[in-house]
Structure 1
Amino acid sequence: MATFALRFSDDLKEKAQLFSKRIGLSLNAVIIVALDEYLRVRTGKKSGSLIDSVAAEKSNVLDSANTNDLAQADVLVSRNAPCSCGSGKKYKKCCGSYQITKSLPGSPLFGRSGGTTCC
C-alpha cells in the first residue's frame, strides 16, 4: 500500500474535519474521495458530485462491514475456548453448557430459544 503525506492549511483542514463529521466518514476517507474527484476532473473523466462520491464510498464501507458481521456470525466456537461473555470460564462450562442442555430432549429447557443463563 502506498503511503503519502499531504499538508493542508488550518482553514482547509477544519473545513474537511467538519465535512467528515457531518457525513459520518473519517477524514482520511474524505480526503481520498476528494483527491480522486480532483484527479477525475483534472484528467477530464466524467465525474459526479463530491457528495455522491462520498455517499457511494460510505455505502461501500457499510456493505463490507455488514458482510464481515455475517461471516463472523457463522464461526463456530471451540468448546475449550474462553467464553465470549467475558466470565473467564471455558465456553463448555459457561454458555456452551446451556446450549447443550436446551438441546437435550429430557431437559426442562428443551426447545427454548433465548440467550444464555450465565450472563
Structure 2
Amino acid sequence: MLTATVAEKLPIGRGDERRLTQVLLNLAGNAVKFTETGAIDILADAVDGHFEITVRDTGPGIASKDQALIFEEFQQVDSSSTKQKGGTGLGLAISKRIVEMHGGTIEVESVLGSGSAFRLKIPMRVEESAEAA
C-alpha cells in the first residue's frame, strides 16, 4: 500500500523542479522495488524553514554498516535481493548531489528487517507572491 501525506498550506518553493522530482521518483522507486509486501509512506511538511520529505517503507531494511555506502557512486548493498532487483548504484548518489546543490541534506534511518526511512531537507526559497504595484 502506498500513501502520501502532504501538510496543508505548504508554501510554494523555488528550486529545480525537474531535478527534485528526479530525487523523489528515485526514493519512491527504490521503496517500491524493495518492498514486496507492506507499506510505503511519503510525507511532505515544512519544518524550521525547510521542506522535509520522508519516504518510509517496510522493506528489508539496510544494515547500519552499509548505510553510509549507499550514497556513494556505484555502491549497492551486497545482498541477494539487491542483486536480484538490479540497478547501477547511481540513484542515491545522484539524489544526494541534487539535494546538496539545493543546500539540503538527505539521510537514511533503517533497521535490517524493519524497513527504511529516507529523509530529505531542503531550505525553503519561498516564491514571493506577485502584487500589483
TM normalised by structure 1 equals: 0.26
Counting helix residues as a fraction of each chain, which structure ranks higher?
1
- Higher-Rg structure is 1
The structure where strand makes up a greater share of residues is 2
